[in-house]
Amino acid sequence: MKIYRFYDPFYLKKIMRYEQQNIHFISDFHIGHKNVLKYDGRPFEDVDEMHVELIKRWNNVVEDDDIVYYLGDLAFCRDETTVWFLRSLKGKINYIIGNHDKMKDIIKFDRFENVHEYGTEIFIKDEDLKSARGSQGYQQFILSHYPILSWNRAHYGSIHLHGHCHGNLMKSNQDYYKRKVLDVGCNVIDYTPISYQGVKDIMEKKIISSVDHHGED
Protein backbone atom coordinates (compact mmCIF):
# COMPACT_ATOMS: atom_id res chain seq x y z
CA MET A 1 0.00 0.00 0.00
CA LYS A 2 1.28 3.44 -0.94
CA ILE A 3 0.32 6.50 1.08
CA TYR A 4 0.04 9.76 -0.88
CA ARG A 5 0.27 12.95 1.14
CA PHE A 6 -0.22 16.34 -0.42
CA TYR A 7 3.23 17.54 0.59
CA ASP A 8 4.96 14.40 -0.72
CA PRO A 9 6.74 15.32 -4.02
CA PHE A 10 5.83 11.87 -5.35
CA TYR A 11 2.16 12.71 -4.88
CA LEU A 12 2.22 15.12 -7.80
CA LYS A 13 3.95 12.63 -10.08
CA LYS A 14 1.75 9.62 -9.33
CA ILE A 15 -1.15 9.95 -11.78
CA MET A 16 -2.80 6.64 -12.57
CA ARG A 17 -3.62 5.77 -16.15
CA TYR A 18 -5.95 2.82 -16.59
CA GLU A 19 -6.31 0.87 -19.81
CA GLN A 20 -9.42 -0.93 -18.53
CA GLN A 21 -12.82 0.56 -17.71
CA ASN A 22 -13.87 -1.77 -14.88
CA ILE A 23 -13.58 1.10 -12.38
CA HIS A 24 -16.21 2.17 -9.84
CA PHE A 25 -16.75 5.07 -7.44
CA ILE A 26 -18.62 5.59 -4.15
CA SER A 27 -18.28 7.32 -0.76
CA ASP A 28 -19.78 8.09 2.64
CA PHE A 29 -20.88 4.70 3.95
CA HIS A 30 -20.79 5.87 7.58
CA ILE A 31 -20.63 2.30 8.86
CA GLY A 32 -22.08 2.02 12.36
CA HIS A 33 -23.49 5.55 12.30
CA LYS A 34 -27.07 5.27 13.58
CA ASN A 35 -27.94 8.92 13.05
CA VAL A 36 -27.04 8.83 9.35
CA LEU A 37 -30.09 6.63 8.83
CA LYS A 38 -32.21 9.59 9.87
CA TYR A 39 -30.09 12.34 8.29
CA ASP A 40 -30.04 10.71 4.86
CA GLY A 41 -33.43 9.00 5.10
CA ARG A 42 -31.66 5.71 4.42
CA PRO A 43 -34.11 2.86 3.72
CA PHE A 44 -32.74 0.47 6.34
CA GLU A 45 -34.24 -0.67 9.64
CA ASP A 46 -30.95 -0.34 11.50
CA VAL A 47 -27.19 -0.18 10.91
CA ASP A 48 -26.90 -3.98 10.78
CA GLU A 49 -29.31 -4.13 7.86
CA MET A 50 -27.46 -1.23 6.24
CA HIS A 51 -24.12 -3.04 6.53
CA VAL A 52 -25.44 -6.22 4.95
CA GLU A 53 -27.18 -4.35 2.14
CA LEU A 54 -24.15 -2.17 1.37
CA ILE A 55 -21.97 -5.28 1.03
CA LYS A 56 -24.58 -7.01 -1.12
CA ARG A 57 -25.02 -4.08 -3.50
CA TRP A 58 -21.25 -3.56 -3.75
CA ASN A 59 -20.54 -7.20 -4.59
CA ASN A 60 -23.39 -7.30 -7.10
CA VAL A 61 -21.50 -4.89 -9.36
CA VAL A 62 -17.82 -5.19 -8.34
CA GLU A 63 -15.69 -8.22 -9.30
CA ASP A 64 -12.46 -9.30 -7.62
CA ASP A 65 -10.26 -7.65 -10.26
CA ASP A 66 -12.28 -4.44 -10.51
CA ILE A 67 -10.92 -1.14 -9.24
CA VAL A 68 -12.89 0.99 -6.79
CA TYR A 69 -12.19 4.53 -5.66
CA TYR A 70 -13.76 5.16 -2.27
CA LEU A 71 -14.01 8.90 -1.63
CA GLY A 72 -14.00 9.06 2.14
CA ASP A 73 -15.98 8.79 5.40
CA LEU A 74 -15.97 5.11 6.17
CA ALA A 75 -16.93 4.20 9.73
CA PHE A 76 -18.27 5.29 13.11
CA CYS A 77 -17.92 1.95 14.90
CA ARG A 78 -15.50 -0.49 16.48
CA ASP A 79 -12.55 -1.68 14.45
CA GLU A 80 -13.69 -5.31 14.35
CA THR A 81 -16.94 -4.32 12.62
CA THR A 82 -15.07 -2.21 10.09
CA VAL A 83 -12.56 -5.00 9.42
CA TRP A 84 -15.39 -7.50 8.84
CA PHE A 85 -17.11 -5.05 6.51
CA LEU A 86 -13.99 -4.30 4.45
CA ARG A 87 -13.01 -7.95 4.15
CA SER A 88 -16.47 -8.71 2.77
CA LEU A 89 -16.03 -6.39 -0.20
CA LYS A 90 -14.71 -7.47 -3.59
CA GLY A 91 -12.29 -5.45 -5.67
CA LYS A 92 -9.11 -3.46 -5.39
CA ILE A 93 -9.98 -0.40 -3.33
CA ASN A 94 -8.21 2.97 -3.46
CA TYR A 95 -9.02 5.32 -0.60
CA ILE A 96 -9.35 9.10 -0.40
CA ILE A 97 -9.44 10.45 3.15
CA GLY A 98 -12.65 12.17 4.27
CA ASN A 99 -13.30 14.61 7.09
CA HIS A 100 -14.45 11.82 9.42
CA ASP A 101 -11.42 9.61 8.66
CA LYS A 102 -8.05 9.48 10.35
CA MET A 103 -5.12 8.48 8.18
CA LYS A 104 -3.66 6.16 10.83
CA ASP A 105 -6.96 4.29 11.19
CA ILE A 106 -7.42 3.81 7.45
CA ILE A 107 -3.83 2.57 7.06
CA LYS A 108 -4.09 0.00 9.84
CA PHE A 109 -6.99 -1.79 8.14
CA ASP A 110 -4.48 -2.89 5.46
CA ARG A 111 -7.24 -3.26 2.89
CA PHE A 112 -6.47 -0.52 0.39
CA GLU A 113 -4.24 -0.41 -2.68
CA ASN A 114 -3.46 3.28 -2.14
CA VAL A 115 -4.50 5.94 0.36
CA HIS A 116 -4.66 9.58 -0.77
CA GLU A 117 -4.72 12.30 1.85
CA TYR A 118 -6.66 14.92 -0.11
CA GLY A 119 -7.55 13.55 -3.51
CA THR A 120 -6.13 12.24 -6.74
CA GLU A 121 -6.29 12.49 -10.51
CA ILE A 122 -6.78 9.49 -12.79
CA PHE A 123 -7.14 8.80 -16.50
CA ILE A 124 -9.29 6.03 -18.01
CA LYS A 125 -8.75 4.85 -21.57
CA ASP A 126 -11.74 5.65 -23.77
CA GLU A 127 -10.88 6.41 -27.37
CA ASP A 128 -14.57 6.53 -28.31
CA LEU A 129 -15.20 9.54 -26.09
CA LYS A 130 -14.91 12.83 -27.96
CA SER A 131 -13.79 14.81 -24.91
CA ALA A 132 -10.96 12.32 -24.30
CA ARG A 133 -9.30 12.85 -27.68
CA GLY A 134 -7.37 15.83 -26.43
CA SER A 135 -5.95 13.69 -23.63
CA GLN A 136 -4.47 10.96 -25.85
CA GLY A 137 -7.65 8.92 -25.65
CA TYR A 138 -8.09 9.05 -21.87
CA GLN A 139 -10.97 10.45 -19.86
CA GLN A 140 -9.60 12.54 -17.00
CA PHE A 141 -11.09 12.42 -13.49
CA ILE A 142 -10.44 14.70 -10.53
CA LEU A 143 -11.39 12.82 -7.34
CA SER A 144 -11.71 14.25 -3.84
CA HIS A 145 -13.88 13.90 -0.78
CA TYR A 146 -14.97 17.53 -1.02
CA PRO A 147 -16.60 19.30 -3.98
CA ILE A 148 -14.31 21.66 -5.90
CA LEU A 149 -15.58 24.88 -7.44
CA SER A 150 -13.14 24.85 -10.38
CA TRP A 151 -11.03 21.79 -11.09
CA ASN A 152 -8.14 20.95 -13.39
CA ARG A 153 -9.03 20.96 -17.11
CA ALA A 154 -12.77 21.24 -16.43
CA HIS A 155 -13.06 23.29 -19.62
CA TYR A 156 -11.48 20.39 -21.56
CA GLY A 157 -13.94 17.76 -20.38
CA SER A 158 -12.39 16.43 -17.17
CA ILE A 159 -14.90 15.03 -14.69
CA HIS A 160 -14.97 15.84 -10.98
CA LEU A 161 -16.35 13.26 -8.54
CA HIS A 162 -16.80 14.00 -4.84
CA GLY A 163 -18.60 12.88 -1.69
CA HIS A 164 -19.14 14.66 1.64
CA CYS A 165 -22.42 16.42 0.79
CA HIS A 166 -24.83 13.45 0.92
CA GLY A 167 -26.70 14.95 -2.03
CA ASN A 168 -27.54 18.20 -0.21
CA LEU A 169 -25.51 20.44 -2.51
CA MET A 170 -27.35 18.98 -5.49
CA LYS A 171 -30.54 20.48 -4.06
CA SER A 172 -29.18 23.85 -2.94
CA ASN A 173 -26.82 24.60 -5.85
CA GLN A 174 -28.22 23.01 -8.97
CA ASP A 175 -26.12 25.19 -11.29
CA TYR A 176 -22.98 23.53 -9.92
CA TYR A 177 -24.17 20.16 -11.24
CA LYS A 178 -24.83 21.47 -14.71
CA ARG A 179 -21.13 20.87 -15.18
CA LYS A 180 -19.22 17.59 -15.35
CA VAL A 181 -19.42 16.94 -11.63
CA LEU A 182 -21.16 14.22 -9.64
CA ASP A 183 -21.75 13.54 -5.96
CA VAL A 184 -20.99 9.83 -5.49
CA GLY A 185 -22.15 9.64 -1.88
CA CYS A 186 -23.76 6.24 -1.46
CA ASN A 187 -27.21 7.65 -0.67
CA VAL A 188 -27.14 9.56 -3.97
CA ILE A 189 -26.32 6.52 -6.13
CA ASP A 190 -28.66 3.90 -4.59
CA TYR A 191 -25.98 2.65 -2.17
CA THR A 192 -24.21 0.96 -5.07
CA PRO A 193 -20.79 1.80 -6.57
CA ILE A 194 -21.25 3.62 -9.86
CA SER A 195 -19.19 2.36 -12.77
CA TYR A 196 -17.14 4.39 -15.21
CA GLN A 197 -19.81 3.67 -17.82
CA GLY A 198 -22.51 4.85 -15.41
CA VAL A 199 -20.71 8.14 -14.85
CA LYS A 200 -20.15 8.50 -18.58
CA ASP A 201 -23.86 7.97 -19.31
CA ILE A 202 -24.85 10.67 -16.82
CA MET A 203 -22.36 13.16 -18.24
CA GLU A 204 -23.45 12.55 -21.82
CA LYS A 205 -27.04 13.45 -20.90
CA LYS A 206 -26.08 16.76 -19.31
CA ILE A 207 -26.23 20.11 -21.04
CA ILE A 208 -22.87 21.34 -19.81
CA SER A 209 -22.56 24.99 -18.84
CA SER A 210 -19.27 26.87 -19.03
CA VAL A 211 -16.92 26.65 -16.05
CA ASP A 212 -14.73 29.76 -16.09
CA HIS A 213 -12.66 31.96 -18.37
CA HIS A 214 -10.30 29.07 -19.22
CA GLY A 215 -13.00 27.76 -21.53
CA GLU A 216 -12.84 30.84 -23.72
CA ASP A 217 -10.69 30.67 -26.87
Q: Domains (ranges, CATH) in the chain?
A: 2-204 (3.60.21.10)
The mean pLDDT of 21-26, rounded to a whole number, is 97
pTM score of the predicted model: 0.91
- Which pLDDT belongs to residue 212? 56
In whole angstroms, give the CA distance from residue 37 to residue 45. Answer: 8
pLDDT in tens, 120-138: 999 999 988 766 555 678 9
In whole angstroms, give the CA distance from residue 14 to residue 30. Answer: 28
Q: How many CA atoms lie within 13 A of 110 on its CB side?
A: 1
User: What are the two backbone dihedrals, phi and then psi, of residue 196, each rounded to the nearest 5 degrees?
Assistant: -55, -45
Distance of CA 1 to the CA centre of its chain: 18
Residue among 20, 17, 21 at smallest CA distance from 196: 21
pLDDT at 10 over 60: no
Residue among 92, 123, 113 at smallest CA distance from 3: 113
In whole angstroms, give the CA distance from residue 91 to residue 105. Answer: 20
pLDDT in tens, 61-104: 999 999 999 999 999 988 999 999 999 999 999 999 999 999 99
